[in-house]
Amino acid sequence: MANVLVVEDEINTANMERDFLEGAGFHPFIAPNALEALKLMHSEKMDAIILDVTLPGEDGFSLCRKIREITNAPIIFATAPTEDADIVRGLGLGADAYLLKPISGTVLIAHLRAQLSVHARIMDQKLNKSAPEEGLAIDKLIIRPKARQVTLHEKDVILTGKEFDLLYFLAEHPNEVFSKDQLFQEIWGLDPIGEPATVTVHINRLRDKLKSISGHPYERIETVWGAGYRFKLD
């Protein structure tokens, strides 16, 4: 039974989300604020986090950043309607999905299960001791699509599902320029929440993660000003 932390200060909403989770076979923990949420994060192993933005004291954005430093477990924002910039900000801080209230139990559970499935595939690749997949090799970067694994200089690069999809798609089409709209449609498809600016957030996160491994900017993911992005090969 997966543990799910719900960070929600509105009692009725918290109880409703708890009922949704219990009915779907999850083990929910409820925290009304950031302080209580962090205490639970340190005392219990959480498999996923459902997070409101508007909280007493420290807000959900700040809490998301702190949680992401603790765990790679899926984080889903479930919050009141807001500006597109807030959605982009939440995803940029490490959230995996951003849902707008009111949210039906069916939709919430579907997103939760989808994010847990992606996370499980990412973790399973570390446990797979079979012969490594050949994959796509570009200099010291190796992308193995079946295992959904990326290594740079023989070190694992831990990516979210969408970050992996974006990197692999660009690397499969070297030197081809794609607009933000094209990439959003290709990678996010029919996802109900999001906008093309989300692509920029994920490109920046990809660059940051690759830079953290190599020690210098990863210049193959190139911005073509006024046009979009490409994976540059000499």
Are residues 41 and 59 part of one domain? yes
Contact 49, 5 (CB under 8 A): yes
Per-residue pLDDT of the chain (234 residues), as tens digits, is 899 999 999 999 999 999 999 999 999 999 999 999 999 999 999 999 999 999 999 999 999 999 988 888 999 999 887 888 888 888 888 888 899 988 899 999 999 998 888 877 766 655 454 445 567 888 889 998 888 889 999 899 998 888 999 999 999 999 999 998 889 888 877 554 556 678 898 999 999 999 999 888 888 999 999 899 999 987
Give the orientation angle of helix 34-43 with respect to helix 60-70, to 10 degrees: 10
Q: CA-CA distance, 62 to 78, in Å (whole number)?
A: 15
Strand-pair partners of 170:
none
pLDDT computed for residue 125 by the predictor: 57
Same domain, 81 and 158: no
Looking at the structure, do residues 117 and 8 belong to the same domain, yes or no?
yes
Amino acid at 1: M
Tokens read off for 37: 């949420």
87 and 164 together in one domain: no
Give CA angle at 118 (192, 138), nearest 5°: 105
Are 79 and 50 in contact by the 8 Å Cβ rule? The answer is: no
Domain finish residue from 72, 101, 121 = 121
Residues 74 and 102 sit within 8 Å (Cβ to Cβ): no
Token pair 């794609």 is found at 178
Torsion of CA 142, 143, 144, 149, to 10 degrees: 100
CATH number for position 149:
1.10.10.10
Whole domain around residue 54: which residue ranges? 3-121
Residues 157, 89 share a domain: no
